[in-house]
Structures are given as structure tokens and as C-alpha cells.
A and B are shown apart, each in its own frame.
Chain A
Amino acid sequence: MDRIQVPRRQLLRRHFLQLSGLSSVSLLLGGCGTPLFEDLVGKVSEPLNQKVETLLFNPEKFAPEFPVSAIEPEALIINSFNFTPQIDPAQFRLVVDGAVNKSLSLSMAEIQQMPLTSMVIRHVCVEGWAAIVQWGGVRLRDIIHLAQPKTEAKYVYFKSADGYYESWDLASCMHPQTLMAYQKNGESLPVENGAPLRLASPIKLGYKQSKWVTNIILSDRLLPVKGYWEDQGYEWYAGL
């Protein structure tokens, strides 16, 4: 009787390795164009990144300022999440409350009587573009000092007339270049840029810089609700 010939199907080491290499490449490629656990990756890496960002942040260090001639008026793209609210500056009030000893309700006239700070800085958007822009306004830290923050205050929430909301760490709010601005490029702040009053700072990404701010709330903690974009997955600290 003839012996039955069994075809040799031995998987050579080399072929096995080639196959496993190919399959891992296809796993990687298969993830392209998809989120592929991006939310999980963000949750794992953000605490570490935020620690490093906080360490890098020097609360006394000035971000570079530029000459007026460097202003790029066309480069500042208008990004708003919803609509442009029309606010009567005569009726406008900036309310400061929360973890403060003295709640405030400031009119534009009162805010404009406070010392004016002007800066020409680079405004950097999360999308990757940047624009040299001049902002003029009141240092946020002057307003916070007026309200006499309680010692437990660590975070600051900002509410806007269009429903936008944001939260910052107190240290970044106390930075000398963090302004509540009512001027842009030497003129009154245009309504689409946040008139009558907006946040402006060279140390945070653009989405942190709320427009049409009506309410500043100091807090001892960061709530699960952190900010319009943050609640959809954007990074909270977003320091530059």
C-alpha cells in the first residue's frame, strides 16, 4: 500500500513573523480615519500632560509682545460656537461671585475707569493658526482682587451671554497678561469679537478665551462641567 502523502504545511518561522508583522500593520492602518479610542487615550494622557503643562507655566513670565506694526488684522478668524449676542453696553453688568468675600456687579463705565493694559500678543487657536492682535482692557487679576477671593478659591468659571462657558485655573487668571478686554487693534472691541467684554490672554488657546463674558464665578473645585469644548473632549488646561 502506498503511503499517503501529506503535504507539508509547516509554518516557517520567517513566514510566521511576516504574517504577524502584516497583521499588526493592518490593525494600525485599520484605525486610520477613525477615532480609535481617542477618548480613552485622552483620559490616560491628559493628567500627565496637565502636570507637565502646569510645571512649565511660569505665572510671572510675560509671553512675547510685538510692535503695533506686526498686527495681522485679517489673520484673526472669528470662531463662535452658536450666535452673536447683542448686548447694550449701557445695560451691561459683569457679575463676579462664588468663592469671594465681596460680590461685584460692575458696569462698563466702572470697568473702564480701572487701569487699562494694552498688549500686542500672538493669539493661538487650537486649530493651528495664530494671529498677532492687540487687546486692551483690565487685568483680570485686578477684578479678582476687588472681589477679595476666599483662600479656598482655586478655579474660575466664565459664563457668556451666548451660553458659552469656560473654566480656568486661578494661577492663569492672575497672570499679568490675562485681560478682560474691551479693545481690539486700537479700537472698541467689535461685537463679533466679544463686545462689550471678553477674555484675552497669550497663555491659553483661543477656545479658553470666552467672548461676551457676563459672569465670573470663583470656585474651590473643578466641576464635571468644565467648558463648552472641554465637555466634548477638548483639553481643559490648554496652556501655551
Chain B
Amino acid sequence: MQAIAAKIFHWVNIISLFIMLTSGLQIYNANPVFGGRAGWHIPPIFTLGGWLAGGRHWHFAAMWLFSLNLLWYGVYVLVTRRWRHRFVSDKDIKALRLSQNQQRRAYAWHRIVYTAIIPILLLAIFSGIGMYKPAQFHWIVDCFGDWQALRVVHFVTVPIVVIFSLTHFLLGRRVGGDRLIESMFW
């Protein structure tokens, strides 16, 4: 049984992330990060919005849902002190080094993976703000070197977040079965 907060967070996160990814790929197609207009375009089945302005509408609407959801959950995890035992710790690293118990090792890997998703999501937001308001937040662009580097980083968060989310799902199921997965949503 999970706290209702964890369920709400997972629902809002998966839906808003889905909108962010698909609308982001729509925007990508206006001028592919790799190769410009002559570059490879994302097949329309993975895009949302229909055209550039539609993709931007979805992207800049869902960004609020996505980032505020992450924010309140972060505050919740801090205030309820869940951060102390819900995320990866040196015990997991120790288990991976010493334990032969496959179940314990999978559990440790799972905690590494879902903990790592948090900085990836934060990086997506951070690089996204830099692209959205490069004049007001030019120091964000500077953090990444130049504009193209910023675009690459923002784009690369897409495959990384997809891979980590799938791994999170698979390892979660291995650790806790379907019951654990379902308990995170229902």
C-alpha cells in the first residue's frame, strides 16, 4: 500500500511527461537538433500537436503540470522525511558489492534507477528554461557552452528518461511484482 501522495505523483508525472515528450518531439521536427532541416525527422506517430505551434502549446501548458508536480512531491518528500529511507543509500551500494542475494541486488539496482530519474527530470527542466528564456536566463545557456550543446542536452533527456522509466518499471516488477506496480497507481 502506497501513500496517496505517491499515487498522485506517479499519475500526474507519467501523463505530463508523456505530453512533454510527444509535444517536444513535435517541436524538434521544426528543425531537428541533429542535421537541421535536412536531418532525420521524428515519425508523426510519436508527436503531439500536429504542427510547431500546436507542439509548443502542449509543451508550454504541460510544463506547469510536470514541473509543479515534481515540486510539490519534492517538498512532500522533504517534509515527511521520506528522503532519508526512500532513495538510494550506501546500504544499497554495499549490498551490490557484497550480497549474493539476487532479490536484494535487484532491489538495490531499482533504488539506484528511480533515484537517478529525479536529476534527469530536473536537468530536462533546467535546460528547458534555458531554451525558453535565453535572454533572461542566459547563464543557463552559458552552463552548457553554447546553444547547440543546450539543445542536445535538452533532447538527450528524452531517450534517457524513457530508458530509466522502463527500467524503473521492469525492476520494480521484479522486486515487488505486479502488486507493487499497481499499488503505485491505484
Task: Name the contact of B186 in the complex, choosing from A17, A122, A126 (C-beta under 8 A).
Answer: A17
Check: A128 CB closer than 8 A to any chain B CB.
Answer: yes
> Judging by beta carbons under 8 Å apart, are A128 and B48 in contact?
no
A113-153 vs B: 1/0 string, CB under 8 Å?
00000000010111111100000000000000000000000
Check: A42 CB closer than 8 A to any chain B CB.
Answer: yes
Check: A61 CB closer than 8 A to any chain B CB.
Answer: yes
Check: B169 CB closer than 8 A to any chain A CB.
Answer: no
Instruction: List the interface of chain B (C-beta within 8 A of A).
Output: 15, 18, 22, 27-28, 30-31, 33, 36-37, 43-58, 60-61, 64, 131, 133-136, 138, 141-142, 147, 151, 182, 185-186
Nearest chain B CB to A51's CB is how many angstroms away?
A: 12
> Judging by beta carbons under 8 Å apart, are A38 and B58 in contact?
yes
Nearest chain A CB to B144's CB is how many angstroms away?
A: 12
Given A32-B46, A33-B44, also A122-B54 (CB < 8 A): no
For chain A, give the interface size range.
35 or more
Q: How far is the CA of A124 from the CA of B136 in the complex (A)?
A: 13
Check: A11 CB closer than 8 A to any chain B CB.
Answer: no
> Judging by beta carbons under 8 Å apart, are B53 and A42 in contact?
yes
A63 surroundings in chain B (CB, below 8 A): 134-135, 138
Q: How far is the CA of A127 from the CA of B61 in the complex (A)?
A: 18
- Is chain A's interface secondary structure helix, strand, loop, or mixed overall? loop
Instruction: List the interface of chain A (C-beta within 8 A of B).
Output: 14, 17, 21, 28, 31-36, 38-39, 41-42, 44-46, 48-49, 53, 56-58, 61, 63-64, 77, 122, 124-130, 202-203, 229, 232-235, 239-240
> Judging by beta carbons under 8 Å apart, are B133 and A239 in contact?
yes
- Is chain B's interface secondary structure helix, strand, loop, or mixed overall? helix
Q: Sorted from nearest, which 3 A-B pairs have the closest CB atoms? A: A38-B54, A35-B50, A42-B57
A233 surroundings in chain B (CB, below 8 A): 51, 53-54, 57
> Judging by beta carbons under 8 Å apart, are B52 and A48 in contact?
no
> Judging by beta carbons under 8 Å apart, are A33 and B133 in contact?
no
B18 surroundings in chain A (CB, below 8 A): 28
Task: Name the contact of B136 in the complex, choosing from A34, A46, A49, A61 (C-beta under 8 A).
Answer: A61
> Judging by beta carbons under 8 Å apart, are A33 and B45 in contact?
yes
Nearest chain B CB to A207's CB is how many angstroms away?
A: 10
> Judging by beta carbons under 8 Å apart, are B64 and A127 in contact?
no
A129 surroundings in chain B (CB, below 8 A): 31, 36, 147
Q: How far is the CA of A130 from the CA of B151 in the complex (A)?
A: 10
Task: Name the contact of A124 in the complex, choosing from B50, B58, B134 (C-beta under 8 A).
Answer: B134
A-B contact sample (15 more), CB < 8 A, given A17-B186, A234-B56: A32-B22, A33-B45, A33-B50, A36-B49, A41-B61, A45-B57, A46-B57, A64-B142, A122-B135, A128-B27, A129-B31, A234-B53, A240-B133, A240-B135, A240-B136
> Judging by beta carbons under 8 Å apart, are B57 and A38 in contact?
yes
B133 surroundings in chain A (CB, below 8 A): 53, 56, 239-240
Nearest chain B CB to A60's CB is how many angstroms away?
A: 12
Q: Which residue in chain A gives the minimum CB-CB distance to B148?
A: A130
Tell me which of A49, A61, A63 has the highest count of chain B C-beta atoms within 10 A of its own C-beta. Answer: A49
Nearest chain A CB to B153's CB is how many angstroms away?
A: 13
Q: How far is the CA of A33 from the CA of B58 in the complex (A)?
A: 13
Chain A to chain B contacts (Cβ below 8 Å), 6 pairs: A31-B48, A33-B46, A38-B55, A61-B136, A122-B135, A240-B136
